[in-house]
């Protein structure tokens, strides 16, 4: 092959020419991988932003909680619209506490402290699980993209190599011009598979680790707040017994 022919082939082998000249199956694979990559990045940015906001709001709530102020006033300031999982756990516990006090005043009977403690802890656990499930939403797509995208890219690679062999058979030539389109399809689908998979895997591991760390923080808060309410329940029971005497 002379220099002029090589230059002509090189000019015909620009990236976009190879992409648009590929067959329907290869285009479907590449478009699917590009779409998965775009959606993965959208999820990554959304999750990172949400976690940043949630952690900042929880930190502000912790500062208010441990400032020594009245828990009743803190609960009134939060109201029925807490803006982070930790505040939601606190609000759920306080609602159960106040509901129990109302029941106690209406029935004029004491309520078992152990039962009250269990109900409060259950309310906090349900609230925590609900918010953590919301944080985990769409994380499965990142995991699936990280594991499936390379396989889809490999399928495109195999398909492109088959097209190269078919081109050689039809042209009865193993020249670069005959093999280039199929090889290009194989390389492009492999590259798109990795482009979709690698960020998804890295982001999934990072975000999952952050969510697990935040979950431990919520569990620690639940244990600390439960201890505070437990002491309050014991003090209330002691006062009730002394009043009964």
What domain range is 191 assigned to?
41-244
36 in any annotated domain? no
Cβ distance 94 to 75 under 8 Å?
Answer: yes
Q: Which of these, 106, 126, 110, 107, lies nearest to 118 by C-alpha position? A: 126
13 in any annotated domain? no
231 in any annotated domain? yes
Q: Which of 113-127, 147-161, 200-214 has the lowest mean pLDDT?
A: 113-127
Q: What is the pLDDT of residue 239?
A: 56
- Pick 46 or 2 by higher pLDDT: 46
Q: Inform me whether the pLDDT recorded for 137 exceeds 90.
A: yes
Share of the chain above pLDDT 90, in %: 45
Q: What is the pLDDT of residue 147?
A: 95
11 in any annotated domain? no
Rounded distance between C-alpha atoms, residue 241 and residue 245, angstroms: 6
17 in any annotated domain? no
149 in any annotated domain? yes
Give rounded-to-5 percent helix, strand, coil for the chain: 90, 0, 10
Q: Inform me whether the pLDDT recorded for 1 exceeds 50.
A: no
DSSP string, 12-37: HT-HHHHHHTS-HHHHHHHHHHHHHH
Residues 83-110, mean pLDDT to the nearest whole number: 75
Q: Inform me whether the pLDDT recorded for 3 exceeds 60.
A: no
Share of the chain above pLDDT 70, in %: 76
18 in any annotated domain? no
Q: What is the pLDDT of residue 151?
A: 94
Euclidean distance between the first and final Cα of the chain, in Å? 110
> Is this structure's pTM higher than 0.95?
no
97 in any annotated domain? yes
Q: Inform me whether the pLDDT recorded for 237 exceeds 90.
A: no
> How many structural domains does the chain have?
1
């Amino acid at each position: 092959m002379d220099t002029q022919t090589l230059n002509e082939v090189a000019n015909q082998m620009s990236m976009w020419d190879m992409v648009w000249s590929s067959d329907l199956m290869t285009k479907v694979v590449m478009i699917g991988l590009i779409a998965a990559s775009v959606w993965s990045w959208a999820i990554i940015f959304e999750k990172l932003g949400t976690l940043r906001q949630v952690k900042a709001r929880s930190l502000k709530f912790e500062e208010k909680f441990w400032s020594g102020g009245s828990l009743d006033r803190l609960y009134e300031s939060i109201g029925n619209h807490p803006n982070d999982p930790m505040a939601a756990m606190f609000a759920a516990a306080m609602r159960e506490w106040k509901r129990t006090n109302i029941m106690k005043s209406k029935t004029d009977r004491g309520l078992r402290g152990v039962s009250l403690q269990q109900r409060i802890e259950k309310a906090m656990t349900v609230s925590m699980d609900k918010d953590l499930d919301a944080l985990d939403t769409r994380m499965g797509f990142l995991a699936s993209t990280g594991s499936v995208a390379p396989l889809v890219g490999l399928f495109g690679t195999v398909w492109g190599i088959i097209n190269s062999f078919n081109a050689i058979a039809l042209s009865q030539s193993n020249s670069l011009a005959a093999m280039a389109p199929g090889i290009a399809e194989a390389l492009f689908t492999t590259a798109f598979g990795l482009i979709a998979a690698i960020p998804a895997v890295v982001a999934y591991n990072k975000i999952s680790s952050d969510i697990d760390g935040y979950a431990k923080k919520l569990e620690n808060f639940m244990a600390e707040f439960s201890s505070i309410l437990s002491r309050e329940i014991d003090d209330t029971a002691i006062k009730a017994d002394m009043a009964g005497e």
